[in-house]
Amino acid sequence: MFKVYYQLAKPGIIYGNAITAAAGFFLAAKGAISWPLFAAMLVGLSLVVGGACVFNNIYDRDIDASMARTKDRATVTGQVSRPAALIYGTILFLAGAFILDRFTNNYALLAALVGFITYVLIYTPLKRKTVHATLIGSISGATPPVVGYCAVAGRFDLAAGLLFLILVFWQMPHFYAIAVRRLQDYAAAGVPVLPVAKSVKNAKVQILLYIIGFIAAALLLAVYGFAKYTYAVVVLLLGLWWLALSLQGFKKNPADDQIWAKKVFLFSLVVITILSVTMCLTAVLP
Protein backbone atom coordinates (compact mmCIF):
# COMPACT_ATOMS: atom_id res chain seq x y z
CA MET A 1 0.00 0.00 0.00
CA PHE A 2 2.97 2.30 0.62
CA LYS A 3 3.88 2.08 -3.06
CA VAL A 4 0.34 3.00 -4.07
CA TYR A 5 0.35 6.18 -1.99
CA TYR A 6 3.91 6.94 -3.06
CA GLN A 7 2.91 6.81 -6.73
CA LEU A 8 -0.22 8.86 -6.06
CA ALA A 9 1.99 11.84 -5.14
CA LYS A 10 3.68 11.63 -8.58
CA PRO A 11 7.29 11.14 -7.45
CA GLY A 12 8.65 11.93 -10.91
CA ILE A 13 7.24 15.45 -10.68
CA ILE A 14 8.52 15.82 -7.11
CA TYR A 15 12.07 14.83 -8.09
CA GLY A 16 12.02 17.11 -11.13
CA ASN A 17 10.94 20.05 -9.01
CA ALA A 18 13.54 19.19 -6.38
CA ILE A 19 16.30 19.47 -8.99
CA THR A 20 15.26 22.96 -10.08
CA ALA A 21 14.70 24.04 -6.47
CA ALA A 22 18.25 22.94 -5.64
CA ALA A 23 19.54 25.00 -8.56
CA GLY A 24 17.81 28.12 -7.22
CA PHE A 25 19.11 27.43 -3.72
CA PHE A 26 22.74 26.99 -4.81
CA LEU A 27 22.56 30.04 -7.07
CA ALA A 28 21.52 32.22 -4.13
CA ALA A 29 23.92 30.59 -1.65
CA LYS A 30 27.02 31.25 -3.82
CA GLY A 31 28.97 28.48 -2.11
CA ALA A 32 27.90 29.26 1.47
CA ILE A 33 25.60 26.25 1.80
CA SER A 34 23.47 25.79 4.90
CA TRP A 35 22.63 22.10 4.65
CA PRO A 36 19.90 22.16 7.34
CA LEU A 37 18.19 25.00 5.45
CA PHE A 38 18.62 23.12 2.18
CA ALA A 39 17.07 19.99 3.67
CA ALA A 40 14.14 21.91 5.15
CA MET A 41 13.48 23.69 1.86
CA LEU A 42 13.66 20.48 -0.14
CA VAL A 43 11.47 18.41 2.20
CA GLY A 44 8.91 21.18 2.68
CA LEU A 45 8.62 21.91 -1.03
CA SER A 46 8.45 18.22 -1.95
CA LEU A 47 5.56 17.66 0.44
CA VAL A 48 3.66 20.67 -0.93
CA VAL A 49 4.22 19.47 -4.51
CA GLY A 50 3.16 15.96 -3.56
CA GLY A 51 -0.02 17.29 -1.98
CA ALA A 52 -0.81 19.29 -5.13
CA CYS A 53 -0.33 16.18 -7.27
CA VAL A 54 -2.68 14.14 -5.08
CA PHE A 55 -5.41 16.79 -5.40
CA ASN A 56 -4.84 16.85 -9.15
CA ASN A 57 -5.31 13.08 -9.27
CA ILE A 58 -8.57 13.35 -7.36
CA TYR A 59 -10.01 15.99 -9.68
CA ASP A 60 -8.83 14.28 -12.88
CA ARG A 61 -10.18 10.80 -12.19
CA ASP A 62 -12.52 10.85 -15.18
CA ILE A 63 -9.87 12.18 -17.58
CA ASP A 64 -7.26 9.74 -16.29
CA ALA A 65 -9.64 6.83 -16.84
CA SER A 66 -9.81 7.58 -20.56
CA MET A 67 -6.06 7.95 -21.16
CA ALA A 68 -3.76 4.96 -21.65
CA ARG A 69 -0.88 6.35 -19.59
CA THR A 70 -3.04 7.25 -16.56
CA LYS A 71 -5.82 4.66 -16.51
CA ASP A 72 -4.06 2.61 -13.82
CA ARG A 73 -3.70 5.41 -11.26
CA ALA A 74 -4.96 4.46 -7.80
CA THR A 75 -7.70 7.11 -7.83
CA VAL A 76 -9.03 5.62 -11.08
CA THR A 77 -8.86 1.94 -10.12
CA GLY A 78 -10.29 2.59 -6.66
CA GLN A 79 -7.23 1.39 -4.75
CA VAL A 80 -7.37 4.73 -2.94
CA SER A 81 -10.81 6.18 -2.19
CA ARG A 82 -11.59 9.85 -2.71
CA PRO A 83 -11.85 10.58 1.07
CA ALA A 84 -8.55 8.80 1.74
CA ALA A 85 -6.86 10.71 -1.08
CA LEU A 86 -8.23 14.01 0.24
CA ILE A 87 -6.86 13.30 3.71
CA TYR A 88 -3.52 12.20 2.27
CA GLY A 89 -3.17 15.28 0.05
CA THR A 90 -4.13 17.60 2.88
CA ILE A 91 -1.59 16.06 5.26
CA LEU A 92 1.19 16.37 2.66
CA PHE A 93 0.34 19.99 1.93
CA LEU A 94 0.00 21.09 5.57
CA ALA A 95 3.20 19.29 6.60
CA GLY A 96 5.13 20.89 3.76
CA ALA A 97 3.74 24.37 4.44
CA PHE A 98 4.57 24.01 8.14
CA ILE A 99 8.19 23.04 7.42
CA LEU A 100 8.67 25.92 5.00
CA ASP A 101 7.06 28.37 7.44
CA ARG A 102 9.04 27.12 10.44
CA PHE A 103 12.47 26.57 8.92
CA THR A 104 12.77 28.86 5.86
CA ASN A 105 11.07 32.25 5.40
CA ASN A 106 7.88 33.91 4.21
CA TYR A 107 9.14 34.44 0.65
CA ALA A 108 9.88 30.75 0.16
CA LEU A 109 6.55 29.78 1.72
CA LEU A 110 4.65 32.30 -0.42
CA ALA A 111 6.28 31.04 -3.62
CA ALA A 112 5.33 27.46 -2.73
CA LEU A 113 1.74 28.52 -1.96
CA VAL A 114 1.49 30.34 -5.30
CA GLY A 115 2.58 27.17 -7.05
CA PHE A 116 0.12 25.02 -5.11
CA ILE A 117 -2.86 27.33 -5.59
CA THR A 118 -2.15 27.86 -9.28
CA TYR A 119 -1.83 24.15 -9.95
CA VAL A 120 -4.74 22.86 -7.86
CA LEU A 121 -7.33 25.64 -8.02
CA ILE A 122 -6.66 27.26 -11.39
CA TYR A 123 -4.77 24.99 -13.81
CA THR A 124 -6.46 21.71 -12.92
CA PRO A 125 -10.07 22.81 -13.59
CA LEU A 126 -9.17 25.12 -16.50
CA LYS A 127 -7.30 22.50 -18.52
CA ARG A 128 -10.67 21.02 -19.46
CA LYS A 129 -11.87 24.37 -20.81
CA THR A 130 -9.11 26.35 -22.46
CA VAL A 131 -5.95 25.85 -24.48
CA HIS A 132 -4.30 28.53 -22.34
CA ALA A 133 -4.35 26.29 -19.25
CA THR A 134 -0.90 25.01 -20.21
CA LEU A 135 0.58 28.47 -19.77
CA ILE A 136 -1.18 28.84 -16.42
CA GLY A 137 0.17 25.45 -15.37
CA SER A 138 3.70 26.58 -16.21
CA ILE A 139 3.42 29.18 -13.44
CA SER A 140 3.15 26.48 -10.80
CA GLY A 141 6.00 24.51 -12.34
CA ALA A 142 8.21 27.61 -12.34
CA THR A 143 7.94 28.25 -8.60
CA PRO A 144 10.34 25.55 -7.23
CA PRO A 145 13.58 27.34 -8.20
CA VAL A 146 12.08 30.52 -6.76
CA VAL A 147 11.38 28.67 -3.50
CA GLY A 148 14.98 27.46 -3.41
CA TYR A 149 16.37 30.91 -4.18
CA CYS A 150 14.15 32.76 -1.72
CA ALA A 151 14.91 30.28 1.06
CA VAL A 152 18.48 31.61 0.98
CA ALA A 153 18.07 35.20 -0.22
CA GLY A 154 15.00 36.03 1.84
CA ARG A 155 13.68 38.22 -0.97
CA PHE A 156 12.28 38.12 -4.50
CA ASP A 157 14.64 39.96 -6.84
CA LEU A 158 15.73 39.99 -10.49
CA ALA A 159 17.53 36.66 -10.21
CA ALA A 160 14.40 35.02 -8.78
CA GLY A 161 12.36 36.56 -11.60
CA LEU A 162 14.74 35.20 -14.22
CA LEU A 163 14.62 31.73 -12.67
CA PHE A 164 10.85 31.91 -12.90
CA LEU A 165 10.96 32.94 -16.58
CA ILE A 166 13.51 30.24 -17.45
CA LEU A 167 11.22 27.54 -16.08
CA VAL A 168 8.12 28.97 -17.77
CA PHE A 169 9.89 29.03 -21.14
CA TRP A 170 11.29 25.53 -20.56
CA GLN A 171 7.96 24.01 -19.56
CA MET A 172 5.95 25.16 -22.56
CA PRO A 173 7.87 23.15 -25.20
CA HIS A 174 8.15 20.33 -22.68
CA PHE A 175 4.35 20.25 -22.24
CA TYR A 176 3.57 20.75 -25.92
CA ALA A 177 5.87 17.87 -26.85
CA ILE A 178 3.94 15.65 -24.44
CA ALA A 179 0.66 16.85 -25.98
CA VAL A 180 1.82 16.02 -29.52
CA ARG A 181 3.14 12.65 -28.40
CA ARG A 182 -0.13 11.82 -26.59
CA LEU A 183 -2.40 13.56 -29.11
CA GLN A 184 -4.94 10.75 -29.37
CA ASP A 185 -5.20 10.36 -25.60
CA TYR A 186 -5.91 14.06 -25.07
CA ALA A 187 -8.40 14.11 -27.93
CA ALA A 188 -10.24 11.09 -26.51
CA ALA A 189 -10.37 12.70 -23.06
CA GLY A 190 -11.64 15.99 -24.50
CA VAL A 191 -8.73 18.03 -23.13
CA PRO A 192 -8.13 21.06 -25.40
CA VAL A 193 -4.33 21.08 -25.44
CA LEU A 194 -2.82 23.13 -28.26
CA PRO A 195 -2.26 20.39 -30.89
CA VAL A 196 -5.83 19.18 -30.33
CA ALA A 197 -7.54 22.59 -30.22
CA LYS A 198 -5.41 24.17 -32.95
CA SER A 199 -3.01 21.90 -34.82
CA VAL A 200 0.24 20.01 -34.46
CA LYS A 201 1.91 22.56 -36.73
CA ASN A 202 0.80 25.36 -34.41
CA ALA A 203 2.30 23.46 -31.49
CA LYS A 204 5.58 23.05 -33.39
CA VAL A 205 5.78 26.81 -33.96
CA GLN A 206 5.10 27.46 -30.27
CA ILE A 207 7.75 24.94 -29.25
CA LEU A 208 10.30 26.72 -31.44
CA LEU A 209 9.45 30.18 -30.09
CA TYR A 210 9.49 29.11 -26.45
CA ILE A 211 12.87 27.43 -26.85
CA ILE A 212 14.25 30.70 -28.19
CA GLY A 213 12.74 32.44 -25.16
CA PHE A 214 14.28 29.84 -22.88
CA ILE A 215 17.75 30.39 -24.31
CA ALA A 216 17.44 34.17 -23.93
CA ALA A 217 16.13 34.03 -20.35
CA ALA A 218 18.73 31.47 -19.27
CA LEU A 219 21.58 33.54 -20.69
CA LEU A 220 20.37 36.64 -18.86
CA LEU A 221 21.39 35.04 -15.57
CA ALA A 222 25.00 35.31 -16.74
CA VAL A 223 24.54 38.69 -18.42
CA TYR A 224 23.39 40.21 -15.13
CA GLY A 225 26.15 38.49 -13.18
CA PHE A 226 24.05 35.99 -11.24
CA ALA A 227 25.72 33.00 -12.92
CA LYS A 228 29.18 32.38 -14.34
CA TYR A 229 29.99 32.33 -18.03
CA THR A 230 30.79 28.61 -17.84
CA TYR A 231 27.09 28.20 -17.14
CA ALA A 232 26.27 30.46 -20.12
CA VAL A 233 28.33 28.32 -22.50
CA VAL A 234 26.59 25.14 -21.33
CA VAL A 235 23.17 26.76 -21.62
CA LEU A 236 23.88 28.09 -25.10
CA LEU A 237 25.07 24.72 -26.39
CA LEU A 238 22.10 22.88 -24.86
CA GLY A 239 19.65 25.48 -26.08
CA LEU A 240 20.92 25.45 -29.65
CA TRP A 241 20.85 21.64 -29.70
CA TRP A 242 17.26 21.70 -28.44
CA LEU A 243 16.39 24.37 -31.01
CA ALA A 244 17.87 22.30 -33.84
CA LEU A 245 15.87 19.31 -32.68
CA SER A 246 12.66 21.38 -32.69
CA LEU A 247 13.35 22.51 -36.26
CA GLN A 248 13.45 18.89 -37.39
CA GLY A 249 9.72 18.73 -36.70
CA PHE A 250 9.03 20.93 -39.72
CA LYS A 251 10.85 18.55 -42.07
CA LYS A 252 9.24 15.29 -41.05
CA ASN A 253 6.07 13.66 -42.29
CA PRO A 254 2.98 13.83 -40.02
CA ALA A 255 3.42 10.11 -39.38
CA ASP A 256 6.72 10.90 -37.67
CA ASP A 257 5.32 13.56 -35.34
CA GLN A 258 5.06 11.32 -32.29
CA ILE A 259 8.63 10.08 -32.71
CA TRP A 260 9.85 13.66 -33.06
CA ALA A 261 7.79 14.81 -30.07
CA LYS A 262 9.26 12.03 -27.92
CA LYS A 263 12.77 13.20 -28.81
CA VAL A 264 11.93 16.83 -27.98
CA PHE A 265 10.35 15.75 -24.69
CA LEU A 266 13.25 13.52 -23.64
CA PHE A 267 15.81 16.17 -24.55
CA SER A 268 13.88 18.73 -22.51
CA LEU A 269 14.59 16.53 -19.47
CA VAL A 270 18.27 16.47 -20.38
CA VAL A 271 18.26 20.26 -20.74
CA ILE A 272 16.71 21.03 -17.36
CA THR A 273 18.82 18.44 -15.55
CA ILE A 274 22.14 19.63 -16.99
CA LEU A 275 21.15 23.28 -16.56
CA SER A 276 20.31 22.72 -12.89
CA VAL A 277 23.45 20.68 -12.18
CA THR A 278 25.61 23.27 -13.95
CA MET A 279 23.98 26.06 -11.96
CA CYS A 280 24.76 24.19 -8.73
CA LEU A 281 28.35 23.34 -9.66
CA THR A 282 29.30 26.76 -10.98
CA ALA A 283 27.89 28.33 -7.82
CA VAL A 284 30.14 26.31 -5.50
CA LEU A 285 33.28 25.71 -7.61
CA PRO A 286 35.92 28.43 -8.09
| Domains in the chain: ranges and CATH | 2-284 (1.10.357.140)
**CA 168, 172, 176: angle at the middle one, nearest 5?**
165
* Nearest-10 Cα torsion for 91, 16, 111, 95: 20
Which 3 state secondary structure label does DSSP give 9?
coil
Instruction: Determine what percent of the chain is predicted with pLDDT higher than 70.
Output: 99
pTM for the structure as a whole: 0.94
**Is the pLDDT reported for residue 169 higher than 80?**
yes
223 pLDDT band, cuts 50/70/90, is very high
Q: State how far the Cα of 278 lies from the Cα of 286, in Å rounded to an integer.
A: 13
**Is the pLDDT reported for residue 10 higher than 70?**
yes
Output the pLDDT for position 189: 80
Output the pLDDT for position 100: 98
**Is the pLDDT reported for residue 277 higher than 80?**
yes
Residue in 22, 61, 65 with CA at minimum distance from that of residue 41: 22
Tell me what the mean pLDDT of segment 211-224 comes to: 97
**Is the pLDDT reported for residue 286 higher than 70?**
no
Output the pLDDT for position 154: 96
- Reported residue count of the chain is 286
Output the pLDDT for position 252: 66
**Is the pLDDT reported for residue 53 higher than 80?**
yes
Residue type, 165: L
Residue type, 216: A
Tell me what the mean pLDDT of segment 223-234 comes to: 93
Q: Average model confidence (pLDDT) for the chain?
A: 93
Residue in 163, 221, 228 with CA at minimum distance from that of residue 22: 163
Output the pLDDT for position 174: 96
Output the pLDDT for position 1: 78
Q: CB neighbours (10 Å) of residue 221?
A: 23
Residues 6 or more apart whose Cβ sits within 8 Å of residue 61: 75, 76, 82
Tell me what the mean pLDDT of segment 141-168 comes to: 97
**Segment 70-123, tens digit of pLDDT:** 777 888 888 889 999 999 999 999 999 999 999 999 999 999 999 999 999 999
**Is the pLDDT reported for residue 183 higher than 90?**
no
Residues 6 or more apart whose Cβ sits within 8 Å of residue 173: 206, 207, 210, 211, 214, 242, 246, 264, 268
**Is the pLDDT reported for residue 268 higher than 70?**
yes
**CA 266, 127, 98: angle at the middle one, nearest 5?**
80
